Amino acid sequence: MYIVIMAGGSGTRFWPASRESLPKQFLNIVGDRAMIVETYERIRPLAPDDHIILVIGQQHLAETERLFAGRAVRILAEPAGRNTAPCIGLAAKYVEHLGGKDPIVIVPADHYIARPEVFRSGLVQAAQAAARGAIVTLGIIPTRSETGYGYIERAAEPEENNLYRVRTFVEKPNPEMAADYLARGSYFWNAGIFVATPRTLLAEFTSYMPSFARGLEKLRAAFDTTEFPEALQALYGNTEAISFDYAIMEKTTQPVYVVPSECGWSDVGSWYSLYEVRKEHDRDDLGNIGEGDTLLLDSKDSFVVSRGKRFLAVLGLTNVLVVDTEDALLVADLNKSQEVKRIVERLKESASKDLL
Amino acid sequence: MYIVIMAGGSGTRFWPASRESLPKQFLNIVGDRAMIVETYERIRPLAPDDHIILVIGQQHLAETERLFAGRAVRILAEPAGRNTAPCIGLAAKYVEHLGGKDPIVIVPADHYIARPEVFRSGLVQAAQAAARGAIVTLGIIPTRSETGYGYIERAAEPEENNLYRVRTFVEKPNPEMAADYLARGSYFWNAGIFVATPRTLLAEFTSYMPSFARGLEKLRAAFDTTEFPEALQALYGNTEAISFDYAIMEKTTQPVYVVPSECGWSDVGSWYSLYEVRKEHDRDDLGNIGEGDTLLLDSKDSFVVSRGKRFLAVLGLTNVLVVDTEDALLVADLNKSQEVKRIVERLKESASKDLL
């Protein structure tokens, strides 16, 4: 099979550790390595390096080449972010260009998986179904009533063991609906992980993004030539930013399947979410996680990250988030860490562009 | 009159802004200037520069000379801190050496006074009484039930307008006693501000610290000579650290007077105390004080100090203290800021001596 690791995002949720120049997927957020490397290491038992394609932003090309030096992985650099639909279309066209007919596993570069073996076995099953022409998605079995994710509703009966037709994709629910979804057991979190052959994918683009599909066809001759960057820039200049879910999955008339998985997935979408992911291994008896040169006195359930080489002392606080970097410092209520984007918005309005 | 500004202390209460090498009196804590300079500016209408004596630690001599360059103030550098009694005895002996017979006003270098004119008029009245041979202290009229200060109880009836005999000096009270003192109106905060002639002071030292008094007499010939540092080192080497209150005021049989004052005094003994002092002028509508490059969102009643040239964002917190410096960062419950000394103690035990 082929693997596409989507690493073109430019999130602000881990400010001040993440910046426009160094988004989350290039940071060591959970382990000791950048998330894109963790993602690669997790998935590489499934395919040889030259079947693994990293789709990144042009501005991260040097950093990506540094991280994957000596690896035969393939890199596609986007001149600008256009969300996931163009990214997946581009990667599918590239695999077709390479002569590949096997299913492509498409995964985001910045997610955390607690149980990689469970994750991989789900993908293998999904790829088997995808080889027969379907689009297959991994459905994360929910562990809590969560309003922050989209959901996938499965059909009542499986097609085979642990493989279901998808009944519908559902937007982020309100709390009552989320509780209902959790109770029913037939709803899964949509982690944005898809498996399909290049042929299936490109047929969908022809149906629902025909202009872009024609552009991809014209681009094909430029793959792996020096003309590629300019050709892709021309195509992306005429392409709208749109998600694969919205552009394709909500419209397709093809059968779509879901493989439920209990792989311990997290999108690590906020500092709080990261605290939740890390606390099992890293927190002390008082619920604190300290990273770097830190001292916590009379404090609990706090997440304290010193990445600025400074000594960081916390006294008498609960549920606090502290992130220290060379040039910016965040102190927040850990439970409000998803609002960090408001600080980034304020910085965008101000003269402090260098802190973005 | 003469003025003695006691600046030999080495507090840890404003860590990480204050350090062993830069204690509170050498920091700009309230205004734009170092506290020792603010103290000097406050008191200089009372005496010519060459009647003003700064008693400092030897290690702060260069910084003091820098701050007072071009001023005719006199500087006595102590080789080691010995608390206030030796400091006051040394200064009294020096004034005697200078031929001074007028009262000496003794003030700490690191207090804040909201109403300097009221403060000065109290000292003038105290000096008038001191010229007749008494020891006179300024009593701060309490504004709250405070357990952190010692108190001075006055006699029932004044000797003259706003001048009372002192009945007794009282140690820091418990909360019930403090509330009682506040209600009675005959108790004042002991701010450690004393006024007396050199003759009166030196007689007290002869009575209650006779060995030290003899040492001072031997030291006298060395004042303003190159032998002074070595001679003072020899004397201090044989002198215990002891407060003037404990060594003299609690034992004296001479009449002691108090001049009550509503001068808006604060010892600025903690970050919280500083917040209280500054909030009248500096806090915003939500009760926040921000110093340096700061952004507070959904936060209130917080004190945020960026002295490390970094951008500092606070999100969703109440009653928090953040102090950022070049090499250390403190995040604390503002109401627990007096416990900062526990962090300093931990640093002393650890290898991080450079952060002290």
The answer to whether the Cβ–Cβ distance between B314 and A297 falls below 8 Å is no
Q: Do A320 and B331 make contact, defined as CB atoms within 8 angstroms?
A: yes
A311, A315, A346 member nearest B332 (Cβ): A315
Q: Using an 8 Å Cβ cutoff, are A190 and A137 in contact?
A: yes
CA-to-CA dists, residue B191 to A47, B6, B318, angstroms:
76, 13, 31
Res. B352 pLDDT band, cuts 50 70 90 = confident
User: Residue B343: which of A295, A320, A336 has the nearest Cβ?
Assistant: A295
Q: Is A290 helix (H, G, I), strand (E, B) or coil?
A: strand
Task: List the single residue in A312, A339, A346 with the smallest CB-CB distance to B295.
Answer: A346
Reported as a pLDDT band with limits 50, 70 and 90, residue A21 is confident
User: What tens digit of pLDDT does each residue of B73-97 get?
Assistant: 999 999 999 999 999 999 999 999 9
Q: Rounded mean pLDDT of A121-141?
A: 97
Q: How far apart are CA A299 and CA A295, in angstroms?
A: 10
Residue A132, pLDDT > 80, answer yes
Give the tens place of pLDDT for each residue, B227-285: 999 999 999 999 999 999 999 998 999 999 999 999 999 999 999 999 999 988 899 99
B328 and A340 in contact by Cβ < 8 A?
no
Hey, of A311, A336, A339, A342, which one would you mutate to test binding to chain B, going by the most B CBs within 10 A of its CB? A311
Q: Residue window 55-84, chain A: list those with CB within 8 Å of chain B.
A: none
Specify the pLDDT at position B9.
86
Task: Give per-residue pLDDT as tens, B93-129.
Answer: 999 999 999 999 999 999 999 999 999 999 999 999 9
B322 CB neighbours in chain A (<8 A) are 329, 331
Across the interface, do A327 and B311 touch by the CB < 8 Å criterion?
A: yes
**What is residue B175's predicted lDDT score, i.e. its pLDDT?**
96
Residues in chain B: 356
Per the structure block, which two tokens stand in for A274? 């990261």
Would you call B331 and A313 a contact, using CB atoms and an 8 Å cutoff? yes
Residue contact A320–B306, C-beta within 8 A: no
**A332, B315: Cβ pair inside 8 Å?**
yes
pLDDT the model gives residue B30? 85
- Band of residue A315 on the pLDDT scale cut at 50, 70, 90: very high
pLDDT for position B353: 74
What is each CA distance from B208 to B57, B194, B250, in whole angstroms?
A: 25, 17, 10
- Shortest alpha-carbon distance between residue A310 and chain B (Å): 5
DSSP A160-183: BTTBEEEEEEEPPPPHHHHHHHHH
Give chain B's mean pLDDT. 95
Predicted local confidence at residue A353, as pLDDT: 74
Q: Give B-chain residues touching A320 at CB under 8 angstroms.
A: 317, 320, 331
A330:B315 CB<8 A? yes
Summarize pLDDT for B56-72 with one digit per residue, the tens: 999 999 999 999 999 99
Q: What is the reported pLDDT for A195?
A: 98
Q: Is residue A344 over pLDDT 90?
A: yes
* Average pLDDT of span B175-195: 97
CA distances from A121 to A45, A124, A255, A261, B91 (A): 11, 5, 22, 9, 83
Which chain A positions have a beta carbon within 8 Å of B314's beta carbon?
A: 330-332
Measure in Å the smallest separation between the Cα of A312 and chain B Cα atoms. 5
For A259-268, B316-325, B344-353, which range has the lowest pLDDT when averaged over its residues?
B344-353
Distance from CA of B351 to the nearest CA of A (A): 12
- pLDDT at residue number B161: 94
CB contact (8 A) between residue B355 and residue A311? yes
CB contact under 8 A, B297 and A339: yes
Structure tokens at A185: 């057991």
Chain A interface, best mutation among B310, B321, B346, by max A CB count within 10 A: B310
Residues of A in contact with B323 (CB under 8 A): none
Supply the CATH classification number for the domain A2-266. 3.90.550.10
Query: Of A327, A328, A332, which has the smallest distance from its Cβ to B316's Cβ?
Result: A332
Q: Report CA torsion sign: A200, A203, A208, A214.
A: positive
C-alpha span between B64 and B227 (Å, rounded) = 21
Domain regions of chain B by residue span: 2-266, 274-355
In this prediction, residue B182 has a pLDDT band, given cuts at 50, 70 and 90, of: very high
B112-113/B265-266 β-pairing: antiparallel
Please give, rounded to a whole number of angstroms, the shortest distance from the CA of A38 to a CA of chain B.
30
From chain B, the residues in CB contact with A329 under 8 A are: 306, 310-313, 322, 324, 329
DSSP string, B101-119: -S-EEEEETT-EES-HHHH
Q: How far apart are CA B339 and CA A6, in angstroms?
A: 48
Q: What does the pLDDT average to over B38-53?
A: 98
**pLDDT of the residue at A10:** 81
Sign of torsion, CA B115 B120 B125 B129? positive
**Chain A residues touching B291 at Cβ < 8 A:** none
A267 reaches B (C-beta below 8 A):
no
Q: Closest chain A residue to B330 measured between Cα atoms?
A: A313
B262 touching A (Cβ < 8 Å):
no
Q: Check CB contact of B310 with chain A, cutoff 8 Å.
A: yes
CA-closest candidate to residue B272, choices B299, B292, B301 = B301
Chain B interface includes A348 (CB < 8 A): no
What is the model's pLDDT at position A30? Answer: 85
pLDDT class of B186 with cuts at 50, 70, 90: very high
Strands (E), chain A: 2-7, 52-57, 74-78, 104-108, 112-113, 135-140, 151-154, 164-170, 187-196, 256-261, 265-266, 289-291, 294-297, 303-306, 311-315, 320-324, 328-333
Confidence grade of residue B355 (pLDDT, cut at 50, 70, 90): confident
Taking 80 as the threshold, does the pLDDT of residue A236 lie above it?
Answer: yes
Closest Cα in chain A to B302:
A331
How many angstroms separate the CA atoms of A257 and A166, rounded? Answer: 5
Q: CA-CA distance, A159 to A167, in Å (whole number)?
A: 13
Q: Is A316 on the interface with B (CB under 8 A)?
A: yes
Answer yes or no: do B346 and A297 touch at CB < 8 A.
yes
So what's the ipTM on this one? 0.86
Kindly report, residue by residue over B279-317, the tens digit of the pLDDT. Answer: 888 999 999 999 999 999 999 999 999 998 899 999 999
Most A CBs within 10 A among B293, B296, B331, hence the mutation to make, goes to B331
Taking the C-alpha atoms of residue A335 and residue A342, their distance in angstroms, rounded to an integer, is 15
In tens, the pLDDT along B206-230 reads 999 999 999 999 999 999 999 999 9
Give mean pLDDT, residues B154-167.
96
Question: Touching check for B340 and chain A: CB below 8 Å?
Answer: yes
Cα–Cα distance measured from residue B227 to residue B223, given in angstroms and rounded to the nearest whole number? 8
CB proximity B245 to A under 8 Å: no
The three-state secondary structure class of A88 is helix
Cβ–Cβ below 8 Å for B315 and A331: yes
B354–chain A Cβ distance below 8 A for any pair = no
Over range A75-103, report the average pLDDT.
97
Which residues of chain A neighbour B355 with C-beta distances below 8 Å? 311
Nearest Cβ partner for A331 among B320, B327, B342: B320
Nearest Cα of chain A lies from the Cα of B302 at a distance, in angstroms, of 12
Mean pLDDT of B159-167: 96
Best residue of B288, B319, B324, B329 to probe chain A, by most A CBs closer than 10 Å = B329
Minimal C-alpha gap between B51 and chain A (Å): 43
